[in-house]
Each structure stands twice: as structure tokens, then as C-alpha cells.
């Protein structure tokens, strides 16, 4: 399960101001330019991927804007941001296949360097589902069960850092589970399903603890805790279902079987050449 810590305590934040919106607009513009070029290429580029990536940026920006139906200091408002920035937006961004788009847009030499980076050990660690699981679920546990949540109320820099951490962690988790982009070290589909199941259980447990107000260090009244926990539990279920759908949509067992048969055929031809 993907988690996102984002809340408003009434203080200003650079992340929620003009710089982040300008950065989001620039990122969307770059992706759109590259996507249009790829779309005109004979191989084409999916309009659904364009819509997904731009939609992910729009979701993240909307979550930072004052659009919540709850007051800014309400913990339920925080949880809405948690769902959108840490779960829905990252999945939409991942399904836009930005790495594939870049690989199709850069010179071959640059593409080879990117390929070597994707095969590196750091990339293998970052793209592993367990890494994303630890960063997301562990991050939520640290935020809600330590004084960190309260500390972000008085430190805009810390507040922004928590935003950024969980946004990136959410992206890494979605990428490792269901990303269509190349990831040479990505584990098998059954393994990823197991990790997703563990994440679902861990996320549900966190939501239940918040609902009960047990162990949490969140300065909010019980009604807000229970409402936020409900949002986290049921909204998370929908996000997890979408993540599972994304995993299935990127699974190509027939292609893998075809490659295996071709490999076996090639070895057989080498061992028993036709005369």
C-alpha cells in the first residue's frame, strides 16, 4: 500500500506555493512535447499514457490546493492528501511510462547509459517492491506513531520533506509493483502480488489503530481520527484495487512464454543443426 503524509497546520509552505506549481507545469510540458513527438513516430505513443501522466500531475497539484471539504487543520483533510498524493497520483504517473518515453526520445548513446543505470545495483534496490513497502508503510508508522507529525506543524521545511518523501516512496512502490517501464531487476508477478498483499494488510492495520486512537501521536479529536481512518481504509482499498489492475495490465505471460520457446528452439538448433 502506498502512503502519503501531507497536511496543513495553517503555516505557509514553499512546496504548496508557486515553485511546486511551476515545476509541475514544466514537467507536464516536457512530457507532452516528448509524447507528441513519439505519437507522430511510426511506433506511436498511447494517448492513454499521456492522459495518465498528466492526470497524475493534476491530482498532485489539486491535493496541494485548498480544495478539501474539511478545514485545513482537520486531520481528515490531511488524510485526503495522503490518499491522493501518496497513492493515486503516483500510480497515474507510473502508468504514463515516463522512462520508456525518455528512452524513445534520447540518442542511442544516452539510452545505453540509462540502460546501464537501470541494471545497476542501486537501481535494483530502489525498484524492489520490498523497498517501496518499507518506505511507504514504515514512513506512515514513523509519522503517526512518533512526535514527527506534531513537529511538522512548526517546521515548514520538515513538512515539505515529508511531502516529498512519501510522494517519491509512492512512486517507487507503484513502479515496482505495476510499472510498465523497464526494470531489469523487477521480481516475478507472484512475488509482487505477495508484497502487495502484505502492504494491504499493513495499511489496514494502521488505519484500525488510528481509528481506535491506539499508540498514535496525532493531536486531533476522536471524530477526526475515526473519519480519517475510514478514508484511509476504504480509499486505500480502491487505490490498491487500481494498483492490482495495473499489475495485471502490464503482465504479459504469453510474451514470456514465447521468448522461452524461442530460446529453447535456438539452443536446440545449435545442438542439432539441420543437414
Residue 212 CA: distances (Å) to CA of 5, 125, 206: 19, 35, 10
Local confidence band at 157 (pLDDT 50, 70, 90 cut-offs): confident
Number of residues written out for the chain: 275
Residue 163 has pLDDT above 50, yes or no: yes
Q: Which residue has the higher pLDDT, 27 or 9?
A: 27
Q: What percent of the chain clears pLDDT 70, i.e. is strictly above it? A: 85
What is the model's pLDDT at position 255? 52
Tell me the pTM.
Answer: 0.84
Which residues fall within 8 angstroms of residue 79, CB to CB, at 6 or more apart? Answer: 227, 228, 229, 231, 232, 235
∠262-267-271 over CA atoms, to 5°? 145
Q: Which residue has the higher pLDDT, 131 or 260?
A: 131
The per-residue pLDDT for range 244-266, each reduced to its tens digit, is 998 988 776 655 444 434 443 44
What is the model's pLDDT at position 269? 40
Which residues fall within 8 angstroms of residue 78, CB to CB, at 6 or more apart? Answer: 5, 6, 7, 8, 228
Say whether 274 sits in a helix, a strand or coil. coil
The per-residue pLDDT for range 220-241, each reduced to its tens digit, is 899 999 999 999 999 988 999 9
Residue 22 has pLDDT above 60, yes or no: yes
96: cell is 504514463
What is the model's pLDDT at position 243? 93
Give CA–CA dist 220/44, Å, rounded.
Answer: 51
What is the model's pLDDT at position 248? 87
* Weakest-pLDDT range from 20-24, 31-35, 46-50: 20-24
269: cell is 538448433
Residue 271 has pLDDT above 70, yes or no: no
The per-residue pLDDT for range 169-196, each reduced to its tens digit, is 999 999 999 999 998 889 999 999 999 9
Give CA–CA dist 213/218, Å, rounded.
Answer: 9
Amino acid at each position: 500500500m502506498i502512503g502519503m503524509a501531507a497536511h496543513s497546520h495553517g503555516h505557509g509552505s514553499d512546496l504548496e506555493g508557486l515553485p511546486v506549481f511551476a515545476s509541475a507545469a514544466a514537467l507536464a510540458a516536457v512530457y507532452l512535447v516528448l509524447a507528441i513527438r513519439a505519437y507522430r513516430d511510426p511506433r506511436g505513443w498511447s494517448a492513454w499514457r499521456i492522459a495518465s501522466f498528466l492526470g497524475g500531475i493534476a491530482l498532485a497539484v489539486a491535493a496541494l490546493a485548498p480544495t478539501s471539504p474539511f478545514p485545513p487543520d482537520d486531520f481528515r483533510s490531511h488524510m485526503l492528501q495522503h490518499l491522493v498524493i501518496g497513492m493515486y497520483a503516483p500510480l497515474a504517473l507510473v502508468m504514463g511510462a515516463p522512462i520508456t518515453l525518455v528512452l524513445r526520445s534520447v540518442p542511442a548513446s544516452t539510452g545505453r547509459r540509462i540502460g546501464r543505470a537501470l541494471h545497476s545495483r542501486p537501481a535494483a534496490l530502489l525498484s524492489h517492491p520490498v523497498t517501496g513497502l518499507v518506505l511507504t508503510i514504515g514512513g506512515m508508522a514513523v509519522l503517526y506513531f512518533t512526535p514527527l507529525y506534531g513537529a511538522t506543524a512548526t517546521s515548514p521545511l520538515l513538512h515539505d520533506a515529508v511531502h516529498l518523501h512519501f510522494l517519491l516512496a509512492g512512486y517507487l512502490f507503484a513502479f515496482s509493483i505495476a510499472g510498465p517501464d523497464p526494470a531489469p531487476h523487477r521480481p516475478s508477478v507472484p512475488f509482487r502480488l505477495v508484497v502487495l498483499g502484505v502492504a494491504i494488510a499493513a495499511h489496514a492495520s494502521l488505519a484500525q489503530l488510528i481509528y481506535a486512537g491506539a499508540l498514535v501521536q496525532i493531536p486531533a479529536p476522536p471524530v477526526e481520527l475515526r473519519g480519517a481512518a475510514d478514508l484511509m481504509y476504504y480509499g486505500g482499498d480502491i487505490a490498491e484495487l487500481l494498483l492490482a489492475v495495473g499489475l495485471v495490465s502490464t503482465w504479459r505471460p504469453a510474451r514470456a512464454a514465447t521468448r522461452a520457446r524461442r530460446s529453447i528452439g535456438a539452443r536446440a538448433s545449435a545442438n542439432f543443426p539441420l543437414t
